[in-house]
DNA sequence: TTTCATTTGTCCGTATGTATT
DNA sequence: AAATACATACGGACAAATGAA
């Protein structure tokens, strides 16, 4: 899944959407560890701040829970299909 | 202290004035660390660029010294009551 | 116990684009 | 046209906590 550099949709929003779709598709189960911020930076080519902003969107939507020094996890209370 | 969204005084100037008054009142001592840019963004609701512009005013007036990656401090040479 | 790499968090610096006044 | 303001995006430095070796 790729970020469209030329889209009018902000890149952090694009990344958040991509991850949300993959979470809702069950690619990661509730409680699963998501790729680290650095990993996402490498995979997307986005800046760290931009990746963090994307994860912030998913935290606010309740899809993700982040634990400092550990990582970001799919919300254990997330119910696939919601 | 609040920013007046409808004032004809630029918001960056309003914020600069507010911080200058507080500095001159001794709320922060010379050498003290001021609130971070992000904190000021949160507290004022202004954009980051606007907050930075306000701090720029205070740097030019000599009230504030900014150290990259560290923060903005009350000029150690500032003499309250000037 | 100590060291080290990993990871998130918190910052500042800079630039670009857009919209409004 | 110019100043103001916001949103977005990238880059970099550094701190703090965790866990593994």
Report the mean per-residue pLDDT for chain B: 91
User: What pLDDT is stored for residue B80 in this prediction?
Assistant: 80
Strand C bases with any atom < 7 A from protein Cβ = 6-17
Q: What is the mean pLDDT of residues A25-53?
A: 97
Q: Does the structure show a pLDDT above 80 at B20?
A: yes
Q: Does the structure show a pLDDT above 70 at A1?
A: no
CB-CB contact of A12 with A4 (8 Å): no
The pTM for the full model equals: 0.88
User: What pLDDT is stored for residue B38 in this prediction?
Assistant: 87
Could you give the angle at which helices B48-60 and B37-44 cross, rounded to 10 degrees?
120
**A51 CA: nearest nucleotide by C1':** D9
Subset of residues 29-58 in chain B with CB less than 7 angstroms from any atom in strand C: 36-39, 48-49, 52
User: What pLDDT is stored for residue A25 in this prediction?
Assistant: 96
| Proximity of residue B73 CB to strand D below 7 A | no
User: What pLDDT is stored for residue A82 in this prediction?
Assistant: 61
* pLDDT tens-place string over residues A67-79: 999 999 999 999 9
**Cα(A1)–Cα(A37) distance, rounded to whole angstroms?**
16
**B38 CA: nearest nucleotide by C1':** C11
Q: Nearest residue to nucleotide C5 when comparing alpha carbons to its C1'?
A: A69
**Cα(A21)–Cα(B34) distance, rounded to whole angstroms?**
41
Q: What is the mean pLDDT of residues A32-49?
A: 98
B69 confidence band (pLDDT: 50, 70, 90)? confident
């Amino acid at each position: 899944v790729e970020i469209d550099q030329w889209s009018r949709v902000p890149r952090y929003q694009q990344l958040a959407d991509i991850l949300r779709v993959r979470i809702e598709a069950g690619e990661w189960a509730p409680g699963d560890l998501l790729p680290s911020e650095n990993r996402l930076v490498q995979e997307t080519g986005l800046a760290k701040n931009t990746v963090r902003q994307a994860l912030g969107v998913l935290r606010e939507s309740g899809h993700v829970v982040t634990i400092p020094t550990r990582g970001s996890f799919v919300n254990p209370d997330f119910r696939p299909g919601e």
